[in-house]
Structure 1
Amino acid sequence: MEATSIERPASQRHRSVACSECRQHKLKCDAHQDYSKPCSRCRRRSLECKILGDYKRIKKPTKAELVREIERIRKEVNPTTASDVRPLEHDSTLQGQTNHGSKSTTPYNIAAALSEIPYSPASSVSTEYQHNLQQDAILDLQGQSRTIDGVTIASEKINDCFNIFATHYSPQVPIVEQPMLLDATFEKSPLLFWTIVTLGSRKYSQDPTVFHQLSHRMATLAFQSLKSRQSPIQTVQALVLLCAWPLPVKHLLNDKIHTLAGACMQLALQIGLHVSGVGQDFARERVQAQVSEQNYRALLWRYCTIVCQSASIGDGLPPSMIVEAFNPDWVDQNTMSPDFNQLALRTKLHHIQSSAISKVVPYIMAPADDASLEGIIEIFDSQARMLQSQLQDDIDMLTMYCVRLHICVSRFMVRQPVSMTGLIELYGIAINLIEKYSSMDAASDLALYSTFYLSRALGLAAFVVLKLHHSPQHLVIDRERGERCYFSVIRLCRRRSLDTPDLDSRLATILTELWSSSMVFRGPDGIFDALNVRIRSRLTMSVFFDCLWWWRQEFRGQPDPFVSQPSAVRQTAADSLTQLVDPFMVFSDGLDYDENYFGMYGTYHATLPYS
């Protein structure tokens, strides 16, 4: 190991210095423990570990820049074939999406493209730069063909699916290491391997049959992995991903997302992810304590709770809250990662949303003080708005709109007189959510890769627009703008659909038929009341499922199940649901956030357990 003798100022002599490789990738480095030996990361990867006092990080070229550089080289070497250059990525949906807010570093197959370029002394690209391109392009994505339940997927298709996953899916739920080692991933956990391939093949245009073949086998593989109890960390990773992007089903009753979410949460608890440290209290053997492992376990637990609880919220089910046991002092505070900042922001928004749901349940399920309900809604909505200055990108903004929608949609539950000002504000939130989603889809194909939570919030926003469009005319809203947004949701649902029919394609049909209906929201007495919500036990998704019942009545000929429901039944349902939700809610009423509020999660600087 090479090391330069650096004379540091007195204020920095005790400050640990990371090696060049770790500084380049902004990773935690333990070289300061013994500067005469390489750090643990360099040892694992067989890298040269250097401590350079004047080292500066080099910005790596983007994928688009690498592709343009290769095309330029080809033009110089052989101008006659320049017009035949095609994009290197097999999946056409990836073209032009290199700026999708992704933090992934997985490039296209640049190494293969460079190998096709004949050598020419006139080439203006330095040998070192070309070597770096080839070295970065390999990324250990040289796997082999794999077989699952009699179905064999070729290695090049697996590589493509891993690239698509790294580009579009991993940045939204970053719990899998980049770059990914194909063969190592398969050896550690076939479930995680096939989950990544399945998600990457959702919109894989080169071979649409890959997803069809794998999606029917993933549920069985998931339950087999839970039964075997091998590689629990990787199993939790896979289940979190399957809950974020569930497999397509034709009917809600066939959806296994909540079964997998429950199993995921319980498995995470069994291996002690909810407790700071490396899970020694939950292990049968001595576990080596590493800060990077501690940080990663905290990160995985946080995304596990956010994704699994959001799946419940998106289906109108009460999220199960778990008491955590994190020590605020167990992590180094020397650095601050942008990933941690984003995770802390998402946690705050999720915390506000879950707290709001727990507080409004007693009010929406039984007769109560409407003024108190309005006050609770305004308190939590204002807390979400306070975080606007911390939003880092479009996905954060979209998430905030979703949280505010779930909070403010409870205004439909307020009994007469209804606050028109609150409904106008709710309408604006729904419009902003749809427009933000549409603009992100136009820029980066969000509809193809968005999570279950975001897509379900999009449907809820459309039903809010539908109800308010059928509201009294004295409700002053921009109806033309709302109509455009409503039709955008129909288009986005069809674009997102993976199978015919699946829930997305059926939702597009339902939205289309309800918009053209002249009977929707018409009660047994012949009076139209779009502001009334008959279903109240589905929490913030009650409006969503109430509209589905209006569709069933008119277009499926089902009788109105709510026309003769006595108030005593609703009161019993209110009591039972309140008992279910309240014991799990351990949040305080007032959430006064500051920069240290999420210090209990430490400074995120995790090395994922794949390298």
Structure 2
Amino acid sequence: MHGLPVSKLDLAHTDGDTVERQTALNSPTFSRNSSSGANGKKRNLSAVGFIASPESPEDGVDELRCDVVQEPEYIPCKRCDRLSLDCKIDANFRRIGKRHKNAEMEKELSELRAQLSQQASPTILQHPMKSSASTSASPKVPQIPSSIDQYIGSQEAVASLMDLKSGVEGGSYLRGPNGGLLPSRRLEGVILAQDRIRHLFLNFFRYYHPFLPFLEPDKTPDEYYAASPLLFWVIVAVAARRYEPDPTLFTSLAAPVSRLLWATLESVPQSYFVVKALCIVCTWPTPISSTSADPTFMLSGMMMQIAKQIGLHRPSHAQDFTKFKVELREEELKDRVRTWATCNVVAQRVATGYGQPPISYYDWTLGPHSSNESSFQLPEESEARLLIERFCDKVTQTLYSKYADPVGLPNDTERSTLMKLLMSNLQELEARLTTRTNPTSVSTLYLRAAELHLSLSTFFDSPTSEDYKFHLMQLWMSTTSFLETASGDNVSAGFQIHHATNYILQMIIAAGFSLLKLLNSFFANHVDLDYGKKLFRRAIWMIRTISISANDLPSRLAEVLAQLWNSGGAGSRIPKRSNEVVDSSLQLKVRCRMSMSLVYDSVWRWREEFQAKGKGNLESAVSNPTNLNSAAESTASSTIAEPTFAPPAMLSDGNVFGENTNEVFDPLSWTLDGYLDFPFVNYPEATGIT
């Protein structure tokens, strides 16, 4: 440390120096509770090195004073000599009194506050949108001022960062190009100025929030940070997934936000706002390359458990779940009801998308209520999403949870009857939503996903069942309807597919594998083959569009789809015969992942066909994506816009949630990674059935 004698303050001293000082602190002579020494004289020691200030008497501290002799002959001080230290004095050293130093710091702080007040009015510019339709259909998004772009993320900005502890934890300042100070937020090594934070929040509420509308757009970023730093940084991270002003921001934030998440979850009890953060994390998880390292299903369970632990399922009786007195205003009660509904919606989507039993909890709080219980009435859009997911729960409980079957599946006769009943319920739900709530395009997309979730159970039908072809036609219609809705004119519809949730991605993948199966089987003779090929190519494009990291799971599964498509005939009709052959090619060997069994089964088949022959290296294949064979595909591609953005570089380890040292069995990722063999089951061929 410059300006101080090494014999007193050199921080490079050995541990013995540190121990001596600590011993002095703990000794009776230098007790913090005593204002005088053994000789009764008052002592005043500085905070570092116990050097007395000029204003303070130094009697009684001879054992710590520097008694070095410089002239006529340099004699080291006794302390350095005793500790065998190199005793020398910095030529620039001068003593500064503690009071004088504090006065200078207070003066500097006042100057900094004055500079900060001059920067209180930020410049906001209109964000140049890519198309006029997008600009007219959506609110204007401000662009980061160019002055901020000059110092955000630069080494100079990091060097000039000043933590001024102005009463808000995490509050800090960046020195701008003109020398002024601007407020910012910091998470580990990531520093964001307030203007950039506001821009990210606006992006989140414009592009992502429509998929999960439960937060309050009118609240400021500072209000969200005050409520929960985790919620604040989760919003920022999701908004950074496709942040054009700084494409590397999401990669920089992924690991710090993950560490903040797990550090926050260690605390007990949890905050109500942490539940909100988990809702967002489970909706837009951090990209991974292996599902065995995916904690989303586990986090959704924690989300539900924390929500019940703090009493969100009984919002009007919050007092029963805390030792402190709780008095909720009506707006707070409504927000808790909306958050509890969102927890169930998210939990249901996670369960459906991962092919797992649902952990949702639909109780009285989420049931229909009379007009005099306005606090429990959900906003129309939230109610629509909740009703759709309750239907998905009904599908799962009805078609995949039979107690008497080891897999939970009803027999063919029961399934046919149940399918008709559930399809009727779906039609009633759609009519109800259209009449009562006028659902948005996003709600319509979720409704089509629920219909696909129902129809995918057709893959469990036996080819000999009476309604087999009828159910296949329903599956075809559900698949094409969902893909058309997902890939429609999304800008004018209010959403863009590359901002879609993980659940929508999972359903697009399932729809792609559904088309792959149907268009390469006897069923291809009964549908518009060219139309199906066009939709399949569109599904591949959407999956690759949603991918945000090189070699992440969407890009790998898109490659699996493309390879299977080319190897399976790229969609072709079976030659006409007098008696049509109905075979078992549409049957599944993986049968325990509910409606997602199709996806897991298809990946197993890909491994048998490609990896067993040494052609299954996805890492290299993803870098050079497979082109789909077929002239029809090439023609169809001219009508489909390709992505205009490049995904950021892959995360350093492919898994920011920690090292995967104890993987559980997961057929999807283990197959993609080439670890296991699957015990295939042989099904008898069913021929001659019309």
TM class by shorter chain equals 0.5 to 0.7
Q: Do the aligned partners of residues 452 and 406 (structure 1) sit closer, same or farther apart at CA in structure 2, a change above 3 Å counting?
A: same
Letter in 2 for 1:290: R
Unaligned runs of 5+ in 1: 1-85, 114-141, 522-526, 568-611
Letter in 1 for 2:384: L
Q: Distance in 2 between the 1:94 and 1:304 partners?
A: 35
Does structure 1 conserve the Cα–Cα contact (< 8 Å) formed by 2:334 and 2:376? no
| Cα pair 1:370 1:415 within 8 Å, conserved | yes
TM-score computed with the length of structure 2 as normaliser: 0.59
Output aligned runs, 1:351-500, within 5 Å: 351-361=390-400, 362=402, 365=407, 368-389=410-431, 390-391=433-434, 392-418=439-465, 419-441=468-490, 443=492, 446-472=496-522, 475-500=525-550
**1:544 counterpart residue number:** 599
Deviation for aligned residue 1:555: 2.2
Higher mean displacement: 209-218 or 179-188: 179-188
Q: How does 1:271-290 map to 2 (within 5 A)?
A: 271-277=310-316, 279-290=318-329
- In the TM superposition, what is the alpha-carbon distance from 1:289 to its structure 2 partner? 3.2
RMSD: 3.2
Alignment match, 1:97: 134
> Aligned letter for 1:97?
S
Map of 1:193 onto structure 2: 232
> Structure 2 counterpart of 1:561, which letter?
F
Q: Per-residue CA shift, 1:95-122, capped at 9, x if unaligned? A: 753566x7xx7x5349989xxxxxxxxx
Letter in 2 for 1:279: A
Whether the 8 Å CA contact 1:188–1:231 is kept in 2: the answer is no
Deviation at 1:507, TM superposition (A): 1.8
Aligned to 1:241: 280
Aligned partner of 2:585 in structure 1 is: 530
Provide TM-score, normalisation by structure 1.
0.67
1:449 to partner: Cα distance? 1.2
Q: Is the partner of 1:167 in helix, strand or coil?
A: helix
- The 1-side partners of 2:406 and 2:204 are apart by 40
The residue aligned with 2:678 is 561
**2:298 alignment counterpart:** 259
* Mean CA deviation greater in 535-544 or 365-374: 365-374
**Aligned-residue offset at 1:180:** 2.6
Per-residue CA distance 1:167-202 (angstroms, 9 max, x = gap): 111222122212231222222211011001001111
- The equivalent of 2:71 in structure 1 is none
Q: Which moved more, 1:227-236 or 1:401-410?
A: 227-236
CA distance in 1, matches of 2:131, 2:264: 31
2 CA distance for matches of 1:481 and 1:364? Answer: 39
**In 1, Cα distance between the equivalents of 2:362 and 2:447?**
24
Q: Distance in 1 between matches of 2:430 and 2:285?
A: 29
Per the alignment, residue 331 of structure 2 pairs with 292
CA-CA distance at 1:143 after TM superposition: 8.7
Alignment of 1:30-429 (within 5 A): 88-89=126-127, 92=129, 96-97=133-134, 108-109=141-142, 144-229=183-268, 232-277=271-316, 279-322=318-361, 324-326=363-365, 332=372, 340-361=379-400, 362=402, 365=407, 368-389=410-431, 390-391=433-434, 392-418=439-465, 419-429=468-478
> When the two structures are aligned, how many residues end up with a matched partner?
443
Q: For each residue in 1:334-386, what CA deviation from the matched residue of structure 2 results, as whole angstroms up to 9, or x when unmatched?
A: 7998x622222222221111111111123693675312101111211221121
Kept in 2, the 8 Å contact 1:317–1:539? The answer is yes
Secondary structure of 1:177's aligned partner = coil
> Structure 1 residue 516 and structure 2 residue 566: aligned?
yes
In structure 2, do the counterparts of structure 1 residues 481 and 270 end up closer, same or farther at CA, with 3 Å as the change threshold? same
Code of the residue aligned with 2:680 in structure 1: it is: V
Q: Check whether the contact 1:89–1:95 (CA below 8 A) recurs between aligned residues.
A: no
**Compared with structure 1, are the counterparts of its residues 317 and 99 closer, same or farther at alpha carbon in structure 2 (3 Å cutoff)?**
farther
Q: 1:98 to 1:276 in 2, by over 3 A?
A: farther
Quote the Cα distance in structure 2 between the aligned partners of 1:299 and 1:317. 24
Asked if structure 2 preserves the Cα contact closer than 8 Å seen for 1:93 and 1:205, the reply is no
Where relative contact order (Cα < 8 A, 6+ residues apart) is larger, the structure is 1
1:249-285 CA-to-partner distances (Å, cap 9, x unmatched) read: 1111111211211111111010001114151110111
Aligned equivalents of 1:566, 1:511: Cα separation in 2: 24
Structure 1 residue 213 displacement after superposition: 0.5
Compared CA separation, residues 356 and 484, structure 1 to 2 (3 A): same
Alpha-carbon deviations, 1:521-576, whole Å to 9, x = none?
9xxxxx97431111110011111111111112222226751325999xxxxxxxxx
Q: How far does the alpha carbon of each residue in 1:458-513 deviate from its partner, in whole angstroms, 9 at most, with x for none?
A: 11111111111111157511221111111001111111111001111112211111
Rounded to whole Å, the distance in 2 between the matches of 1:540 and 1:366 is 12
1:331, CA displacement in angstroms?
A: 7.3
Change (3 A) 1:185 1:323: closer
For the residues of structure 2 that align with 1:495 and 1:98, how far apart are their CA atoms? 21
Deviation per CA, 1:148-185: give whole Å up to 9, x if none. Answer: 12221233322221110011112221222122312222
Deviation, 1:387, is: 2.1
AA aligned to 1:380 is: L
Which structure would you say has the larger Rg? 2
Contact 1:143 1:183 in 2 (8 A): no
Distance in 1 (alpha carbons) for counterparts of 2:329 and 2:359: 30
1:44: which partner in 2?
Answer: none
Flag the 1:178–1:265 CA change in 2: closer, same or farther, 3 A: same
Contact kept? 2:515, 2:536, Cα under 8 Å: yes
CA deviation after TM superposition for structure 1 residue 445, in Å? 5.6
User: Kindly tell me: are residues 537 and 231 of structure 1, through their superposed partners in 2, closer, same or farther at Cα, counting changes over 3 Å?
Assistant: closer
In 1, Cα distance between equivalents of 2:369 and 2:348: 27
